[in-house]
Amino acid sequence: MSAPTAQTPKLLDRLRAALRQRHYPAQAEEAHVAWVKRFIFFHDKRHPATLTAADVMAFLASLATDAERLEARSAILFLYRHVLNRPLDLPDPLQPAVRRADPIAALRDQAREALRVKHYALRTEEAYLDWIKRFIRYHGHRHPRELGGAEVAAFLTHLATEGHVAASTQNQALAALLFLYRDVLHQELAYPIETVRARKSQYLPAVLTKEEVRRVIAQLSGVHQLLAKLLYGSGLRLLEALRLRVQDLDFERRAIIVRNTKGNEDRVTMLPDSLVEPLKEHLRRVKRLHEEDLAKGYGSVYLPDALDRKYPNASREWIWQYVFPSDHLSTDPRSGVVRRHHLDESGLQKAVRAAARAAGINKRVTCHTFRHSFATHLLENGYDIRTVQELLGHKDVKTTMIYTHVLQRGGLAVRSLLDK
């Protein structure tokens, strides 16, 4: 790839100035700039003045969805008309000539759009699309319309017998293919496909003693230590902690509102007294960072369920900001808007593993181990299992009951006759 032209930053500055002159909102401005950047990078960082309408159409054809093509077309037309003073006559990007000729690529586009219509999480979308791609590749790149339940069963059997994947992985692949046939192709599978669903194994979770928790946390520092204390002190899952917004912390009631949980339901859990002041101090630093972003023309954050359309200014308000923001800005993969997301989970995961090794803990310690330890220690302290179930957000008390096995006592706390 050739080196970027020296004129590109100046071009983007001119684009921003033209957008502001025409009173474009900050979010729309960032989206236009992001699309122009992608267009330039797609063509090996060549200056747009050297490109043609055919080059623009090639870029539009490379995009995944109709919504992206329309957004990109609007941004590029603005660039050529109002910055380069060279209006382009571009055809509608949704006409068949611009769509990908490859029917399998078109199928992936349809699957992506169906997932977004049903508000699937970005991670689920990526996982499902990957399983669809692997299924098609396994059957010699034949279109799934030519395949059926028997081929789905063959693929899942291959995953289990040759891929040696876990039951949860095989079931995720099954869920992705069921979505493909039912919601994209609208085709029922005659084969009794549910019989292929793997049965999950029941494993006892690894749990730390209270002293081991203290030793691991002592090896952490800064934001990572604060997060680890929150996972253990409140029983949060890792992503639940990272996705917390400022408004989710209720310091007066010593409560945390956990939104959009694993079961898509909100719940309330405890906010430890010992974390109130550290969290307040942390939020003061985060607020300064947010104010700096606003001063630079950024400061917006992702909002769920189209709230950004209902409340256009909400994404820049303080209460909606992440409690644990990333240390850098990034481009939203769906909208192309440059914004500050929450911390990536891999940073804390690596830090916790390193802390467990440094503390000399001879157990497999992950971020989720703090949640297991939280539940087990509450039961050890005599709290009712229904209370623990509510704090953890388990739909079925049977899920919470596993911690009684970790305690090595059943519902009756039976002791061996030999001990008597």
Judge if 135 and 228 occupy the same domain.
Answer: no
Is residue 2 in some structural domain? Answer: no
Judge if 61 and 120 occupy the same domain.
Answer: no
CB-based contacts of 218, cutoff 8 Å, min separation 6: 359
pLDDT tens digits, one per residue of 275-324:
999 999 999 999 999 999 999 888 888 887 667 777 888 889 999 999 99
The active-site residue, picked from 80, 128, 302, 403, is: 403
Residue 29's closest CA among 18, 38, 40?
18
pLDDT tens digits, one per residue of 180-220:
999 998 888 766 666 566 666 566 788 899 999 999 999 99
- Our answer to whether residue 262 is catalytic in this structure is yes
Is residue 132 in some structural domain? Answer: yes
Judge if 372 and 306 occupy the same domain.
Answer: yes
Q: What is the pLDDT of residue 352?
A: 95
Q: What is the pLDDT of residue 194?
A: 63
Judge if 107 and 156 occupy the same domain.
Answer: yes
Q: What is the pLDDT of residue 3?
A: 42
> Which of these three, 196, 227, 257, is where a domain ends?
196
Structure tokens at 81: 């008309």
Is residue 248 in some structural domain? Answer: yes
Judge if 338 and 362 occupy the same domain.
Answer: yes
Is residue 1 in some structural domain? Answer: no
Could you tell me the CATH number of the domain that includes residue 172? 1.10.150.130
Q: What is the pLDDT of residue 45?
A: 87
> What CA–CA distance (Å, rounded) separates 32 from 48?
14
The active-site residue, picked from 262, 285, 364, 395, is: 262
Give the residue carrying structure tokens 């914004």: 339
> Which of these three, 52, 83, 114, is where a domain ends?
83
Q: What is the pLDDT of residue 188?
A: 81
Q: What is the pLDDT of residue 4?
A: 44
Is residue 183 in some structural domain? Answer: yes
Judge if 163 and 26 occupy the same domain.
Answer: no
- Our answer to whether residue 118 is catalytic in this structure is no
Judge if 148 and 252 occupy the same domain.
Answer: no
- Our answer to whether residue 368 is catalytic in this structure is yes
pLDDT over threshold 50, residue 379: yes
Q: What is the pLDDT of residue 191?
A: 63
- Our answer to whether residue 394 is catalytic in this structure is yes
Residue 30's closest CA among 20, 44, 22, 41?
20
Range of the domain at 144: 103-196
pLDDT tens digits, one per residue of 98-157:
444 467 778 888 898 888 888 788 888 999 999 999 999 888 888 888 787 778 888 888
Residues in the chain: 420
Is residue 284 in some structural domain? Answer: yes
Judge if 64 and 211 occupy the same domain.
Answer: no
pLDDT tens digits, one per residue of 314-337:
889 999 999 999 998 888 777 778
Judge if 156 and 76 occupy the same domain.
Answer: no
The active-site residue, picked from 108, 371, 372, 377, is: 371
Could you tell me the CATH number of the domain that includes residue 352? 1.10.443.10
Judge if 260 and 112 occupy the same domain.
Answer: no
> What CA–CA distance (Å, rounded) separates 49 from 53?
11
pLDDT tens digits, one per residue of 54-101:
888 888 888 877 778 877 887 888 899 889 988 887 765 555 544 444
Compute the chain's Rg from CA coordinates: 26
Is residue 96 in some structural domain? Answer: no
The active-site residue, picked from 394, 398, 405, 409, is: 394
Q: Are strands 255-258 and 249-250 parallel, antiparallel or unpaired?
A: antiparallel
Judge if 28 and 131 occupy the same domain.
Answer: no
pLDDT over threshold 80, residue 365: yes
Judge if 161 and 240 occupy the same domain.
Answer: no
pLDDT over threshold 70, residue 167: yes
pLDDT tens digits, one per residue of 380-412:
888 888 888 888 888 878 777 777 766 655 444
The active-site residue, picked from 224, 237, 340, 372, is: 237
Is residue 98 in some structural domain? Answer: no
Q: Name the region of 227 (left: φ>0; alpha: ψ -120 to 50; beta: rest).
A: alpha
Element containing residue 106 per DSSP (H, E)? helix 103-117
Amino acid making up residue 188? E
The active-site residue, picked from 46, 139, 215, 368, is: 368
| Total structural domains within the chain | 3
pLDDT tens digits, one per residue of 219-263:
999 999 999 999 999 999 999 999 999 999 999 999 999 987 776
> Which of these three, 155, 171, 196, is where a domain ends?
196
